[in-house]
Amino acid sequence: MSDLSTLLAFLAAIFVLILLIARFKVHPVATLFIVVVALGLVLGMGGSATIELVKEGFGSTLASVGLLVIFGCVLGKMLELSGAAMKITETALRMFAEKRVPWAIALASTVLGIPLIADTAVVMLIPIVSALAYRTGISMMRLGPILYIGAYVMTSVVPPGPGPLASASLLEVSMGEAILYGLMVGVPGVLAATLYLSRIKTHVAPKPEFVEHLVSAGGSAGGGGSDAADDGTDAPRVGLFGSLVPILAPIVLIVFASLTAPVLPEGSWITGLVLFLGEPTLALFLACLLALPLFRGRWRDKETLNDLFESGLRIAAMPLALTGVGGALATIIRETGVAESVAGSIESTGLSPIIIPFLVAAAVCSITGSNILGVMTSAAIMQPLIPSLDLSPLVVYLACATGAQIMKHANSSGFWVTTTLSNMTVGQGIRSIGVASVISGVTGFAVLYAMIALGVV
């Protein structure tokens, strides 16, 4: 096929992908499979060769990322059920004065967003945030979206979130770099979005069911915020240090191995030990083991050692399937000449190549409502284009991760969870969550652009 025909087939495939998911509500895994097979057939790969490429791409991708996704999801479930997530949140709230409550929530959400999916963080912590809103008189249109946005940004840019994990694996970016540089673009995004949200003037009261106990107890708006976190919730019986260790330990191990391995003596036992402990799969498994003491005497129970692991596996099933089929898409693009055609077209427009993965991720996220799908799909599309566009895999990874934050609106489960539980209307949700997600993504991309200009990446 000619370059033009190849390019048109590729663009049609992306259009069909988005149309099936957004308009006809076809499951993303089925949609990706349909698009991948159809693209292979249209581009002349033949039936048997297309299926073989699909299986090859699916298998090789899961081989590299499968256990990572599983252990990451299990770790998140352990932190949720042990009370560690609640403990981190309450500690953050006690660290800040009443006027700084929004920043305390942003801090807690950012930390919890590393192992937890944003929707889960909101469902878990909205009673505490609602109590704070009642006690301090701060609008839920500020606090609810701030609770969501910190975890949402981290889920988009930092492993072990399933989207960043899959994206880094597809692009062959080391997990140490993905974590370190993901934080460098993610944290400014959270700060900018929180600054915007903290300036919102519209007052929205918390949902009555979250503050009934405070009303009956004689609580009043504007009361002390320091003990608000203790109202209406059972204080978790876990320590802060024990709660943070399973989150920070794998990050430290992976980043330390990534930074020090190149300067350690090659072949020495210390180098082997550092690389072994810093291998992402082992580091995440060790994090799961480090989370067991949070359950105290219950760590030996079947509910902890077996049932909890199965809960994590169920959460991991969807990201695993999406990641595998995304790997198949990348293989088809690489083997059919699509990469060269797309790269040539981008070069002819005069656009900076780095804008392309950002825009692709933003389009997929905005239209489908999924930041996880946005970062994974854009990574799968861009991976074969990297050599032709003369971009580093790390830069493409960060561009996909920042673009995939744009924008949350009424087609997103996270949008509805946060809007509903924060007692907001759809319009208020778009003004808060939607605008904040755009601000976080654009800010992160601006930081990335500055890092490129300064030669940091």
- Does the structure show a pLDDT above 70 at 340? no
Average pLDDT of the segment spanning 168-180 = 92
- Does the structure show a pLDDT above 90 at 109? yes
Q: How far apart are CA 190 and CA 149, in angstroms?
A: 7
Identify which of 234-238, 326-330, 350-354, 434-438 has the greatest average pLDDT.
Answer: 434-438
* DSSP string covering 332-373: HHHHTTHHHHHHHHHHHHT--TTHHHHHHHHHHHHHHS-HHH
Identify the pLDDT of residue 138. 94
Identify the pLDDT of residue 232. 40
- Does the structure show a pLDDT above 70 at 3? no
Identify the pLDDT of residue 60. 83
Radius of gyration, alpha carbons of the chain: 22
Identify each DSSP E strand in 27-85 by its residue range: none
Identify the pLDDT of residue 285. 94
Which of the four pLDDT bands, split at 50, 70 and 90, describes residue 19? confident
Which of the four pLDDT bands, split at 50, 70 and 90, describes residue 231? very low
Q: How far apart are CA 236 and CA 83, in angstroms?
A: 5
Which of the four pLDDT bands, split at 50, 70 and 90, describes residue 181? very high
Which of the four pLDDT bands, split at 50, 70 and 90, describes residue 185? very high
Q: How far apart are CA 72 and CA 96, in angstroms?
A: 30
- Does the structure show a pLDDT above 80 at 104? yes
Report the candidate in 153, 154, 156 with the shortest Cα–Cα distance to residue 164.
156
- Does the structure show a pLDDT above 50 at 197? yes
- Does the structure show a pLDDT above 90 at 303? no
Which of the four pLDDT bands, split at 50, 70 and 90, describes residue 308? confident
The 10s digit of each residue's pLDDT in 82-93 is: 889 889 988 988
Share of the chain above pLDDT 70, in %: 93
- Does the structure show a pLDDT above 90 at 22? no
- Does the structure show a pLDDT above 70 at 141? yes
- Does the structure show a pLDDT above 70 at 343? no
Identify which of 11-25, 88-102, 326-340 has the greatest average pLDDT.
Answer: 88-102
- Does the structure show a pLDDT above 80 at 346? no
Identify the pLDDT of residue 230. 46
Q: How far apart are CA 194 and CA 97, in angstroms?
A: 16
Burial of residue 223 (number of CB atoms within 10 Å: 0-12, 13-18, 19+) = middle
Query: Residue ranges of the alpha helices (H) in 83-139?
Result: 84-95, 101-112, 118-136
225 contacts 135 by C-beta, under 8 angstroms: yes
Average pLDDT of the segment spanning 171-192 = 95
Poorest-pLDDT segment among 65-74, 148-157, 430-439: 65-74
Poorest-pLDDT segment among 1-10, 200-209, 306-315: 1-10
Average pLDDT of the segment spanning 220-239 = 50
Confidence (pTM): 0.82
- Does the structure show a pLDDT above 70 at 339? no
Of 2 and 105, more confident: 105
Average pLDDT of the segment spanning 215-237 = 48
Identify which of 267-271, 414-418, 447-451 has the greatest average pLDDT.
Answer: 447-451
429 contacts 213 by C-beta, under 8 angstroms: no
Residue 218, helix vs strand vs coil: coil
Mean pLDDT for all residues in the chain: 86
Phi, psi of 236, rounded to the nearest 5 degrees: -65, 140
Identify the pLDDT of residue 435. 96
- Does the structure show a pLDDT above 60 at 397? yes
Which of the four pLDDT bands, split at 50, 70 and 90, describes residue 16? confident
204 contacts 141 by C-beta, under 8 angstroms: yes
Average pLDDT of the segment spanning 197-206 = 95
Q: How far apart are CA 427 and CA 91, in angstroms?
A: 33
Identify the pLDDT of residue 77. 87
Which of the four pLDDT bands, split at 50, 70 and 90, describes residue 2? low
Identify the pLDDT of residue 326. 78
Identify the pLDDT of residue 235. 43
